[in-house]
């Protein structure tokens, strides 16, 4: 795809970005609430998206070991759920609209270039999507990339399991200063 085609697609998907997320919300395509009581914000489809994207966003950072990796991602999802809730009602709504867009077939395909469902998407497809949004000349995509990137960076590197790899020994004098551990 040359730059002109890309830009054209970009302009189309920018319109889609606002239009379809709205229609997805209005037409009842989007899940309105988390289906499981333990989630404050994230719906099943949102979690599927995050589970698919996390290993690509954090490639080289997440543990190789399957069980450790799974636990890292499970924790991330719980922390992302809390983090989005803590953004307050206004931002939470915007994040949900972004997830709607990403989970609605047509808008997902047009904006991300990923036409298969997230749990079926290949690593390459997801990498292309991330790079496309990061490099896009449309600031709306840069913004959305930044949002997902920050959430994932924060909730992985906030976990002690990530610290060995980056040479961070953890907080100083934990026995003296940490009153109750807040991260498992």
Binding mask 30-69 for other proteins (x = CB under 8 A): --------------------------xxxxxx--------
Q: Is 128 in the site for other proteins (CB under 8 A)?
A: no
Instruction: Name residues whose C-beta falls within 8 Å of residue 155's C-beta, 6 or more positions apart in sequence.
Output: 75, 76, 79, 80, 83
Q: Which is nearer to other proteins, 28 or 167 (CB)?
A: 167
Q: Is 181 in the site for other proteins (CB under 8 A)?
A: yes
End-to-end CA distance of the chain: 46
Q: How crowded is residue 141: how many other Cβ atoms within 10 Å of its Cβ?
A: 21
Residue 54, φ and ψ in degrees, nearest 5: -55, -45
Which region, judged by CB under 8 A, interacts with other proteins, from 27-35, 41-49, 79-87, 98-106?
A: 79-87
CB of 175 to other proteins, least distance (A): 8
On whether the CB atoms of residues 42 and 140 are closer than 8 A, the answer is: no
On whether the CB atoms of residues 149 and 53 are closer than 8 A, the answer is: no
The residues that touch other proteins, with contacts defined as CB under 8 A, are 56-61, 79, 82-83, 85-91, 127, 130, 134-135, 139, 142-143, 146-147, 149-150, 152-158, 162-163, 165-168, 171-183
């Amino acid at each position: 795809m040359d730059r002109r085609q890309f830009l054209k697609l970009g302009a189309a998907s920018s319109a889609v970005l606002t239009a379809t997320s709205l229609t997805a919300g209005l037409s009842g395509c989007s899940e309105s609430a988390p289906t499981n009581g333990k989630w404050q914000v994230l719906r099943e489809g949102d979690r599927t998206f995050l589970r698919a994207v996390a290993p690509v966003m954090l490639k080289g950072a997440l543990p190789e070991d399957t069980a450790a990796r799974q636990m890292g991602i499970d924790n991330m999802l719980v922390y992302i759920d809390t983090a989005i809730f803590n953004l307050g009602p206004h931002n939470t709504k915007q994040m949900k609209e972004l997830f709607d867009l990403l989970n609605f077939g047509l808008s997902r395909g047009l904006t991300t270039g990923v036409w298969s469902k997230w749990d079926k998407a290949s690593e390459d497809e997801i990498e292309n999507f991330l790079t496309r949004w990061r490099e896009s000349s449309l600031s709306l995509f840069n913004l959305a990339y930044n949002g997902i990137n920050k959430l994932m960076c924060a909730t992985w590197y906030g976990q002690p399991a990530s610290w060995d790899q980056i040479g961070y020994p953890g907080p100083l004098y934990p026995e003296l200063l940490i009153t109750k551990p807040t991260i498992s």
